[in-house]
Amino acid sequence: MDLGFKDKVAVITGAVGGMGEEAARVLVAEGAKVVLADIRDDLGQALADELGDAVYVHVDVTDYADITQMVDRALEAYGTIDILINTAGIGGSAVRNLPEQEQWDRMFAVHVRGTAACIKEVTERVMIPNGYGKIVNVASLCNHSGAGGMSSYCAAKAAITQLTLGGARQLGKHGINMNCVSPGNVRSPMTQWLFSDPARVEQIKNDVVFDRIGDARDIAFPIVFLCSDLAGWVVGADLNVSAGQVIY
């Protein structure tokens, strides 16, 4: 089935490793061109070189100047932006050693303000004038289940869901579909700590309906579907991608 990505241009934040990288691989395989945005420059450039139809740009989503540069680079390389995938994020291990208030500030700076700033810059400069766009944000299953000891992460991810729902109708009037996915626990570079405990791995296997642990590609495929015109009638959805780990 042709998903219609031939010569479409996708910007992906958090594009090195995990679901961002896997989404990039799928999109390029389907004929899209991608702008890889991340802070891991050596890995990002290597990925761009490997993929071919890709450019890499250093982007810290908490720095609006970087986001402006991201859009500049996309327009310079490809002339437009059709798709924005916001996967940039941090886990609890990234803030574990910070004072509690700083943990909250950092979580919201990356997940919420970073996502919102990327949406604002891409839509105002490109998608609204073009009357077309696909945006997918990444929330989490803990929006719906909670997670002990991860209040700041869960709150930030829940805010991404509400950002999606709150903005979807407004952007939809400009021909832009905005949705989000809420992944369950899957193997990725950011979740290595989670799967280092065999007992926790067994618990996750018991929680999902399939007898295996998912990986980043299991999240990337639904993201890519939401970026396609086949999902043109989907607006403001929070797609549960947890293999039954949470049902809602």
Catalytic residue annotation: 153
Rounded-to-integer distance, Cα 98 and Cα 40, Å? 22
